[in-house]
Amino acid sequence: MSKRQLNRRQRWRIDKIQNERLERARRRQQRLDSDVADELGDTEAGRVTAHYGSKVEVEAQARPGERLRCHFRATLPQLVVGDLVFFQPPRSAGDGVVVALEPRRTELRRPDFYGNLKPVAANLDRLLIVFAPLPVPSSQLLDRYLVAAELSGIAPVLVLNKADLVDDVLRPYMDELCKLYTDLDYPVIEASATEATGLDALRAALTGHCAAFVGQSGVGKSSLVNALLPEAALAIGALSERSGLGQHTTTTAQLFDVPGGGVLIDSPGIREFGLWHIDEPTLLSGYTDLAPLAGRCRFRNCSHRHEPGCALHQAVADGRVAEERLDNFFRIAETLDDDTRARYTPA
């Protein structure tokens, strides 16, 4: 056998082996593709509407209003209300299975029993911060909600509820409070859940959004939800009945469809939304009026407390920033240590 023939034979063998390898790789990829197709082939897009520990309730995107109980793959992170998922609908009488989770656009988080921040709702894009003449509102509390919303990337809307209680004596105070925020371009909606005023503006603020009401106890969040979505109150009862899990299910987050598009998420955990585990620079970055001044002080490590040439104090002196906002910033900063330790007490 000549050297040349040998080479040709060798080449032929190499080609053969390579071709076999390619063919094996092609078949392997085909098998993988069909596995994925099996996995996702009969899945549907949906949104988690309620959570019951080991199970979730999912609404199919293609069939609004139809909600199915599902298990979820153990490999998935903890699912929360508002999560966008892919799920296999139940084949017969059983439960469906959530197989994949879409990345969350926003996460609303709060500390769990151990003080670790855990998501409680996903994909919110609007936060309705409710206040009222009673309980007496404070701009410090509203600032806390606004900063928390800004830091979560959720657009806030202020809602002055119980407008029917605003008489001539209260009016100047409430107007001044509202002006503090309208000057910062935060929208303020005046409403009354009991007199059914301002509801159209609230509906408009909800439509097309994934929203939640937050605010102090007693400001009228439930009353507003009931005035806007009468079916929501009914749904809560029906849901606990259907799940057979009893009363405590009403303490988990629920999601309600808004007529005209959009959803409202409600739960005690969301209502207690607040500032958790942040440091002072982060607090500053949530103040939309103060944040652009960060780093503009004469001293790079300015504490903004006593140094000359502080950009925050200068902005107040020039009338570019409201003194009340800076005062609130300092008062909230003093409480941040308390927040770092979990304030959550189990119900």
Ligand X SMILES: Nc1nc2c(ncn2[C@@H]2O[C@H](COP(=O)(O)OP(=O)(O)OP(=O)(O)O)[C@@H](O)[C@H]2O)c(=O)[nH]1
Number of neighbouring beta carbons within 10 Å of residue 271 = 18
Number of neighbouring beta carbons within 10 Å of residue 19 = 10
Amino acid of residue 159? V
Shortest Å distance, C-beta 192 to ligand X: 4
Q: CA 46 to CA 39: how far, in whole Å?
A: 16
Q: Are the C-beta atoms of 47 and 255 separated by less than 8 Å?
A: yes
CB closer to ligand X, 165 vs 291? 165
Q: What is the DSSP string of 204-216?
A: HHHTTSEEEEE-S
Verify binding: residue 335, ligand X, rule CB under 6 A: no
Verify binding: residue 283, Zn ion, rule CB under 5 A: no
CA distances for 143 relative to 17, 238, 258, angstroms = 70, 37, 28
Q: CA 207 to CA 302: how far, in whole Å?
A: 44
Tokens of residue 166, six digits: 């605003």
Residue 210 annotated as binding site: no
- Given the rule CB under 6 A, which of 114-122, 189-197, 199-207, 308-316 is the region that contacts ligand X? 189-197
One of 43, 140, 222, 340 touching ligand X (CB under 6 A)? 222
Contact partner, 222, from ligand X, Zn ion, none, Cβ < 5-8 Å per class? ligand X
Residue 297 annotated as binding site: yes
Verify binding: residue 280, ligand X, rule CB under 6 A: no
Contact partner, 192, from Zn ion, ligand X, none, Cβ < 5-8 Å per class? ligand X
Verify binding: residue 220, ligand X, rule CB under 6 A: yes
Verify binding: residue 223, ligand X, rule CB under 6 A: yes
Q: Is the Cα torsion angle 296, 299, 305, 310 positive or negative in sign?
A: negative
Binding site residues for GTP, as ranges?
161-164, 215-223
Binding site residues, as ranges?
161-164, 215-223, 297, 302, 304, 310
Residues of this chain that interact with ligand X (CB under 6 A) are: 161-162, 164-165, 192-194, 215, 217-223, 271
